[in-house]
Amino acid sequence: MTPAAVHYGHHQAITEARALTFSAAFDLHPLRCKGRLPQPPRVPDKVYINPPLTEETTAIVANPKAH
């Protein structure tokens, strides 16, 4: 799931579309799915292009010669 899809709220529609695709594939070829309907991956709570800095990375950025 892309950060933009989660941020703009498109993740619900994407997850529903994936579920429909998995269901159709399962109906046609259940043995390829080992007899279990595949599920779309869980939508992450947080997504980042660049994750926020931690205390450690902030210290390195503030004083790069010390590390």
CA gap 36, 25 in Å, rounded: 11
pLDDT digits (tens, 9 = 90+) for 3-37: 899 989 999 999 999 999 999 999 999 999 888 99
Res. 67: pLDDT tops 60: no
CA gap 64, 27 in Å, rounded: 57
Q: Give the pLDDT score at 47.
A: 85
Q: Give the pLDDT score at 1.
A: 81
- Which is more confidently placed, 46 or 28? 28
CA gap 11, 15 in Å, rounded: 6
Q: Give the pLDDT score at 64.
A: 65
3-class DSSP string for the chain: CCHHHHHCCCHHHHHHHHHHHHHHHHHHCHHHHCCCCCCCCCCCCCCCCCCCCCHHHHHHHHCHHHC
Number of domains forming the structure of the chain: 1
**Domain boundaries, position 9:** 3-66
